[in-house]
Amino acid sequence: MLFNSIPFLILFFFTYIIYWNVEDKFKKYILFLSSFLFYLYYDVLATIHFFSVISINYYFSNLLLKKKQNGENTNFVLGFILVLNLINLAFFKYFYFFLDSFYKLSNSNLFLDLSKEYNIILPLAISFYTFQLIAIQMDIHRENVKEKISFFDYTLFIIFFPQLIAGPIMRTFDFLPKINSPIITKDSMNQGILFLLLGLFKKVVIADNIGGLINPIFFSPEKYHYTSIFLGFLGFAIQVYCDFSGYTDIARGLALLVGFDIPENFKGPFYSASFTELWTRWHITLSTWLRDYLYIPLGGNKKGFHGSNWNMFLTMVLGGFWHGSNLAFVFWGAYFGILLWIERIFQAKEINLTPKNEFLKFFKRVLIFFFFSMSAIFFRSGSAGTDSIVLMKRLSYTFFSLNNGITVGTRDQIILYVLIGFLLNWLQYDYSKLIKFKKLEKVLIPIFSFVMFILLALFGDGGGDFIYFQF
């Protein structure tokens, strides 16, 4: 059920009306029912599987908590439930990837036959809810969660519909403290509406339309001049940003309208002046999850310069592999792992990478965005299920070709969308820029709503899937 669809609009309309007209003690039951219907709309069997996974995790969460309270060792129990969650994720998400890999290594028809015989459907949001479940187990083990959570609250925390499909990846402290007393104020309601409008603008007006412009470039790169390919890279970076941050804005807006403030996932990442800063501003909840539950357990910065760099590189590679069952995503993670490693080498040699000259700062930000855009060769081929090596070969041939570029009209549209994307990043980089407009909310909301209605009528065709829904 897409946020930009009629079924969801109907679901949320009735949820909102009923939710704020019942006593506080009943509100979470309304949320639970809406979240259940939201997931059930996708598939009945997937819903049964989903609740089974939650039930198993709840049992082990209580077991971990009991052992902690009794002063017993929890390493075995923790390891068991973590492996169980990862097996569940790997089976559904990487089944065909592993069969294909085994077939290529062994050339045995057995693996080929298995891949044709079984039709395994990827459960909705399995990557995101698996990470939230792992976070709960780790937090109990680390004694960050010391009190028992009721099964109902535990389940609602996982299936809360605004963030269920593509995050943000929440922690218990982001949600549970307000579960029995959600609060909505005039300010939070206005902020929620603005988030919804901004998210729709990013998704329907920018991401969906720029996607239509650059898709032909990636589908048949050999037909285009290398300058068109380069423009396609820039356009894809803006498409992914507006698509994913647009989803986050809508999720945060919906959450605010039911009394919850869930974490931000983007803070103007394309305005970053270093790769380190970029990953504190892009998909923030995944970056912090990887830091807290993978990088630090691997040893973090305690393994010396080379050891910490290896830990960082491995974290980036595994973070890339989390995105999908395609080696292209592994290459994508490794690509950024190498860039971060090089940056750390400069930092270790005390080479100042932050120039004081404003023009040089601007150039540095453009350079970081350029390298991020170039990662599209991996991310784009991975999300499209194609071979990144084949795509790279086709692009390399294109670089030396004299093919015609895209039309002037298409070129100008892509450039316009890229510039709008940069403007959105600049505004998001420091929210203090928006405080001056707070007093104008009464005027801005109806104007923005009217403008969005016109834009949706002109550019929106119902909207496509969000890119991160497949992860």
Residue range 79-113, pLDDT digits in tens = 999 999 999 999 888 877 777 777 777 777 666 66
CB of 376 within 8 A of CB of 233? Answer: yes
Average pLDDT on 56-64 reads: 95
CA 266/CA 431 separation, integer angstroms: 12
The full set of domain ranges for the chain reads: 6-184, 187-470
Specify the pLDDT at position 276: 92
Please say if 306 is a catalytic residue: no
H helix or E strand, kind and range, residue 423:
helix 408-429
Helix intervals (H) in 151-263: 151-159, 161-164, 172-175, 186-200, 208-219, 226-257
Catalytic residue among 49, 141, 306, 323: 323
Specify the pLDDT at position 461: 56
- To the nearest 5 percent, what fractions of the chain are helix, strand and coil? 75, 0, 25
CB of 98 within 8 A of CB of 110? Answer: no
- Reported as a pLDDT band with limits 50, 70 and 90, residue 403 is low
Residue 122 DSSP one-character state: P
Average pLDDT for the chain: 84
- Reported as a pLDDT band with limits 50, 70 and 90, residue 421 is very high
Specify the pLDDT at position 311: 93
Q: Is the pLDDT of residue 136 over 90?
A: yes
Residue range 190-200, pLDDT digits in tens = 889 889 888 98
CA 318/CA 306 separation, integer angstroms: 18
Q: Which residue has the higher pLDDT, 341 or 1?
A: 341
Residue range 64-85, pLDDT digits in tens = 999 999 989 999 999 999 999 9
Q: What percentage of the chain reaches a pLDDT higher than 90?
A: 39
- The closest of 6, 145, 152 to 66, measured between CA atoms, is 145
Structure-token pair, residue 253: 């807006």
Q: DSSP readout, 361-417?
A: HHHHHHHHHHHHHHTHHHHHHHHTT--HHHHHHHHHHHHT-------HHHHHHHHHH
Structure-token pair, residue 69: 């309270």
CA 363/CA 361 separation, integer angstroms: 5
**20 backbone dihedrals φ, ψ, rounded to 5°:** -90, 10
Q: Is the backbone peptide bond immediately before 177 cis, with ω within 30 degrees of 0?
A: no
